[in-house]
Structure 1
Amino acid sequence: MKTMKLVFLLFFFDVTLSVKHSLKFFFTVSSGVKHIPDFVGVALIDEVPVGRCDSIGEKAEFTQDWMKKLKEDDPQHLDWYTQESLFVHNKYNAAIDMMKNQLNQTGGVHILQRMNGCEWDDETGEINRFAQFGYDGEDFIAFDLKTLTWIAQKPEALIIKQQWDRNRPKNDYRKSFLTQRCPEFLKTYLDLGKNFLLRTDLPSVSLLQKIPSSPVRCFATGFYPDRVMMFWRKDGEELHEDVELGEILPNHDGSFQMSVDLNLSSVTPEDWRRYECVFQLSGVKDDIITKLDKAVIKTHWVPPSEFPAGPVIGGVVGLLLLLAVCITGVFIWRRRNNGVTTSGEK
């Protein structure tokens, strides 16, 4: 399984070297969830949130400073997002009620989500489009651009498919948006945010280990974009066994982090110098190589032989002395208090 996972990632990395950019719209309508908006819409460019709207504010807003320039140059652009979001809110509120009735769901928490958008390869010019719905965390129904019909991904979606297939004007509009406006928007947004979206940030890489018997983790954080490869190699050869590759995860500042673990349980200390961690970032010629070296591994583990027993023993003795003083003080206070009480009775 590990080998298959690595082969898949290698294939995926080769594909993404061509640099694909995406514009995605996520709309979420919920039922039975308290204390949060029942509708939230988010727009993302290359997985970076750039705009949002919800049922409380009922007005779309850009969340990146470089997108706010569009508000000045084209005020109607943001108004269009607001109108589209409010339309989706009203329509999908009715849709989620219909689904609940169809599935005999009288209560509980239910969530309907829509994701649509486009992906553009800036080298080949190829454009992919997509529109799909999920219900309660599972794929539900998806739009087929070639036939302008819907594909039911659950048996429960068949009735909805039949209804939506008959709405030809709406499906034509959806095709027009996905094939024309979405790519135009994406290219406009990329031009506005090129200093942010098309930047290249190298990571800081460190080796981490919990205890001596734990795998050594090679951890990279702060890199951008997320088109990377990370692996361990021995004597210049990439390792596929005793390696656990982690996922690429986002940081709060828009950069990414990733890790890859190496199990050293069968490796002798003399062989450590033969291992190294390699980080490769798309568009960057030189790899970041980190040699496996105990001296640079970060850990919170302290060997028992180095445990500061003297200070601890001294602290314990001091604590016992303090406790003895407190007990003695209480005893003396009680004797004096009893003495005062007795003399008062006499």
Structure 2
Amino acid sequence: MKLFLFLLLLEIHVTRSLRYFYTSSSGVSNFPEFVAVGLVDDVQMIHYDSNTEKAEFKQQWMEKAAEDDPEYLSRQTNRLMNTQQVFKGNIDTLKQRFNQTGGVHINQMMYGCDWNDETAEVNGYHYYGYDGEDFLSFDLRTETWIAIVMQAVITKHKWDSDRSLSGDLKNYHTKLCPEWLKKYVNYGRSTLMRTELPSVSLLQKSSSSPVTCHATGFYPDRAKMVWRKDGVELHEGVSKGEILTNNDGTFQMSVDLDLSSVIHEDWRRYDCMFQLSGVNEEIVTKLDKAAIRTNEDELQNVNVLVSGSSVFPAGVVVRIMGILLLLTVCFSAVFIWRRKYKGEKYETHLPSTVSNILMFMLL
């Protein structure tokens, strides 16, 4: 069992990713019409939006890109300003295709690659989405576009007819993208290759609810957490949650255990085990009723805060809601797209022929 777990974690550990998300919106008040973000291993490293109209580094280690090429940010800014205008037109085109007039609409693209630094295996991806649904994707194997809905067929035929475009896209996703991923990982080595262990807690909504083992504050996101009985991993009565990102760039995850059929005397036989990729020791948390935090405990804390007048000011609440809306619009769906200009040493997007068509109107 331990050997299998070690091999599984080792396999996960060596996979890295470079992804870009472009989001344009229509009908959303007090929100940028266009937002672009780039992420390395799910850590945001560059950002642009139509309010500032300026590309900005989000990680200090990305300053090394500017040291290599002083025009890096200005070139990104100019390109994304042009892309912003194209995306605005794309929403108008999409609304016509779907017979829509007003309302809130979201057009997204997400693109990039995964790279396994042990096997050198590369997986590229390139998708479009509209209003939270898949719209169009590029198949690297056949070098053709896949129209996921009827409204995308027009665009599929247009782009499939340009074979040079397909070749450039495949070259980008299988060669250029991994090259830039390796460069960025090297820039952020001290951050991206660090390990941080989490704090682990036992939580329960009520005495009849499943017990949740919750780990937060770990890095990277390559980790495993399981419930065990007598040291053996459990599968029945166990519900695993997804790994989620914290505001500080670390991660959290949880695993629920249904104890409805377990007598209290047997609780001592259960534990929650967390293991982080690259770290040998396990974090083992014994199932102990005294250690479980419940909703009743949290309600008492809330009452104390209210009685002490520790209430969020209205302005803070408004700002928080704005941030949540931004995150929802940018990351509510996973759509993929990618671009790179050939012949420019430090550019991060598609070859010029690809750029000219992918910064396009969806006609």
Question: TM > 0.5 between the two?
Answer: yes
Secondary structure of the 1:17 match is helix
* CA–CA distance in structure 2, aligned partners of residues 300 and 39 of structure 1: 40
* CA–CA distance in structure 2, aligned partners of residues 137 and 210 of structure 1: 31
* CA–CA distance in structure 2, aligned partners of residues 282 and 152 of structure 1: 38
Q: How does 1:276-315 map to 2 (within 5 A)?
A: 276-299=271-294, 301=296
Q: Deviations over 1:274-308 (max 9, x none)?
A: 11111121122221111112232233648xxxxxx
Which residue does 1:39 correspond to in 2? 34
Cα deviation for residue 108 of structure 1 reads 1.5
Which residue does 2:100 correspond to in 1? 105
Which residue does 2:159 correspond to in 1? 164
Is the 1:53–1:60 Cα contact (8 Å) retained in structure 2? yes
Relative to 1, partners in 2 of residues 1:298 and 1:103: Cα closer, same or farther, differing over 3 Å? closer
Runs of 5+ consecutive residues of structure 2 not aligned to the other structure: 298-363
Is the 2:13–2:222 Cα contact (8 Å) retained in structure 1? no
Q: CA RMSD in A?
A: 2.1
Which residue does 2:191 correspond to in 1? 196
Which one of the candidate residues 133, 138, 156 is aligned to 1:138?
A: 133
Q: Deviations over 1:116-151 (max 9, x none)?
A: 111110100111111110011111101123443211
Query: TM (normalized to structure 1)?
Result: 0.79
| Match status 1:95 vs 2:100 | no
Which residue does 2:225 correspond to in 1? 230
- Alignment coverage as a number of residue pairs: 292
Letter in 2 for 1:117: G
Letter in 1 for 2:233: E
* CA–CA distance in structure 1, aligned partners of residues 82 and 199 of structure 2: 45
* CA–CA distance in structure 1, aligned partners of residues 246 and 80 of structure 2: 28
* CA–CA distance in structure 1, aligned partners of residues 173 and 234 of structure 2: 42
Q: Deviations over 1:287-331 (max 9, x none)?
A: 1111112232233648xxxxxxxxxxxxxxxxxxxxxxxxxxxxx
Larger radius of gyration: 1
Which residue does 1:331 correspond to in 2? none
177-186 vs 233-242, which deviates more? Answer: 177-186
Relative to 1, partners in 2 of residues 1:106 and 1:210: Cα closer, same or farther, differing over 3 Å? closer
Secondary structure of the 2:160 match is helix
* CA–CA distance in structure 2, aligned partners of residues 286 and 265 of structure 1: 31
Letter in 1 for 2:106: I
Is the 2:13–2:278 Cα contact (8 Å) retained in structure 1? no
Which residue does 2:310 correspond to in 1? none
Which residue does 1:21 correspond to in 2? 16
Is the 2:9–2:222 Cα contact (8 Å) retained in structure 1? no
| Match status 1:150 vs 2:119 | no
Runs of 5+ consecutive residues of structure 1 not aligned to the other structure: 1-9, 303-346
* CA–CA distance in structure 1, aligned partners of residues 211 and 71 of structure 2: 53
Cα deviation for residue 235 of structure 1 reads 1.4
| Match status 1:241 vs 2:275 | no
* CA–CA distance in structure 2, aligned partners of residues 209 and 102 of structure 1: 48
Relative to 1, partners in 2 of residues 1:239 and 1:19: Cα closer, same or farther, differing over 3 Å? same
66-75 vs 253-262, which deviates more? Answer: 66-75
Q: How does 1:58-137 map to 2 (within 5 A)?
A: 58-137=53-132
Is the 1:13–1:228 Cα contact (8 Å) retained in structure 2? no
Which residue does 2:52 correspond to in 1? 57
* CA–CA distance in structure 2, aligned partners of residues 225 and 16 of structure 1: 14
Q: Greater helix percent: which structure?
A: 1
121-130 vs 205-214, which deviates more? Answer: 205-214
Which residue does 1:216 correspond to in 2? 211
Letter in 2 for 1:196: T
Relative to 1, partners in 2 of residues 1:146 and 1:209: Cα closer, same or farther, differing over 3 Å? closer
Secondary structure of the 1:252 match is coil
* CA–CA distance in structure 1, aligned partners of residues 158 and 187 of structure 2: 40
Secondary structure of the 2:23 match is strand
Letter in 2 for 1:106: T
Secondary structure of the 2:194 match is coil
* CA–CA distance in structure 1, aligned partners of residues 75 and 11 of structure 2: 32
Is the 1:16–1:227 Cα contact (8 Å) retained in structure 2? no
Is the 2:10–2:277 Cα contact (8 Å) retained in structure 1? no
Moved over 6 A (4+): none
Relative to 1, partners in 2 of residues 1:44 and 1:224: Cα closer, same or farther, differing over 3 Å? same
* CA–CA distance in structure 2, aligned partners of residues 77 and 185 of structure 1: 13
Cα deviation for residue 184 of structure 1 reads 1.7
* CA–CA distance in structure 2, aligned partners of residues 176 and 78 of structure 1: 24
136-145 vs 204-213, which deviates more? Answer: 204-213
Query: TM (normalized to structure 2)?
Result: 0.75
Q: Deviations over 1:49-94 (max 9, x none)?
A: 1101111222211111111232233122223322332232222222
Secondary structure of the 2:86 match is helix
82-91 vs 223-232, which deviates more? Answer: 82-91
* CA–CA distance in structure 2, aligned partners of residues 236 and 39 of structure 1: 51
Is the 1:200–1:224 Cα contact (8 Å) retained in structure 2? yes
Relative to 1, partners in 2 of residues 1:32 and 1:238: Cα closer, same or farther, differing over 3 Å? same
